[in-house]
Amino acid sequence: MGRRRKAFTLIELFLSIGLIALIGSLVLLRAKPMLDHYRMNHSYEKLKREIALSKYLAQTATADIEFQIEQHKKGLICKRKTDEPLSLGGTINTSFVIPYLQLEGSEKETVLITSSGWIENDVIINICLGKQRKTIDARALLD
């Protein structure tokens, strides 16, 4: 009869789990700046896409659209409004959240887009996430 193999002892298991946890925490500490960078860029691009969509809707529906951005603890709450009786399936008069971002310098920004697609006033939106800051010039989004 062969010898029976000895399984891991309890101490060996605890040491293995401890080493895995230590390595995992080091990886998370190194990955946090990359995660913040990804969140900032993703949210920044989403905000730009939503403003561009508002411009497209204003031109297509030939209606003035007001795009409001408000700072909230969860991020930015955005809402498109118009005086025209449009029913575009959840794109007008509904709020949506762009997470992680914060407005810098004001609590609320409003972008008024005319029916021709022109953006009234010079709207500069300053956003930040931690130490990262970016600026969106709403008129620069015009094609």
For the chain, the domains span 10-141
Would you identify the CATH topology of the domain 10-141?
Answer: minor pseudopilin epsh fold (3.55.40)
pLDDT score at 116:
86
CA 101/CA 96 separation, integer angstroms: 13
Secondary structure letter of residue 8 according to DSSP: P
pLDDT score at 142:
64
Residues near 43 by Cβ (< 8 Å), separated by ≥ 6? 75, 76, 98, 99, 100, 101, 127, 129
pLDDT score at 60:
86
Q: Is the pLDDT of residue 91 over 80?
A: no
Dihedral pair phi/psi, residue 106, rounded to 5°: -155, 165
What value does the mean pLDDT take over residues 59-73? 89
What value does the mean pLDDT take over residues 106-134? 87
pLDDT score at 67:
92
What value does the mean pLDDT take over residues 23-45? 89
